Amino acid sequence: MNPATKNVYMVLGFARSGTSVITRGLKALGINLGDKIKVHAKNNHWNPTGFFEDEEVIYNINAKVYEKLGHPIRGIPIIDKDAFNHPDLSSLKTYAINMLSERFSKTNYWGFKNPSSAKIIPFWRSLFEAEKIQDHYIITLRNPLSSASSFANLTHVDLETGLLLWLTHTIPTVDETMGKVRMVVSYDLMMQDPKKQ
């Protein structure tokens, strides 16, 4: 691998599927997560050890993409690919490119995660292609029933909704990373033997 190449590591997976522990693993392996990681209190019921999520990615980019497309972040439908060509996204793409430029001014190996990224991979891929960034994808999988149950307990949605959300996050994750450099990591195996994984 050319050390001058900019490399992004995008952790994908439904909430409660192990995305935080996998992202924390990337940090341990030397992948830069930036300096805008959201700090969570130890008594946070979602994830007391932290989410390892970039606040700028979550609030200034991902949330805005959903808003511009009129799609709720926790909505069940999969977003149509043509939607990502909408002209309303052009200023947001410019903002995101500037953010990427800032992140890669300090490293050639940057990673991020946010479960909402799973449904908007085409948006991010268009940026990586435009900026000639080598994209890598780490897909986290956990037993769907375990993920959905955990999500339902925390959000008070019904289990069926949790399962549908797991499915509509997983399908685009697999489809949109086809042919790209990607790795699938089992949350359950990671918990059993983290060093080996």
Lowest mean pLDDT of 38-47, 82-91, 147-156, 178-187, name the range.
Answer: 38-47
CA distance 177 to 91: 25
pLDDT > 50? residue 41 = no
pLDDT > 60? residue 1 = no
The conformation of residue 138, written as its DSSP 8-state character, comes to E
CA distance 196 to 185: 11
pLDDT > 90? residue 195 = no
User: What was the pLDDT predicted at 45?
Assistant: 52
CA-nearest of 138, 171, 160 to 18 is: 138
Residue % of the chain over a pLDDT of 90: 65
Cβ neighbours for 190, distance < 8 A, ≥ 6 positions apart = 18, 21, 22, 25, 197
Task: For the full predicted model, state whether its pTM sits above 0.85.
Answer: yes
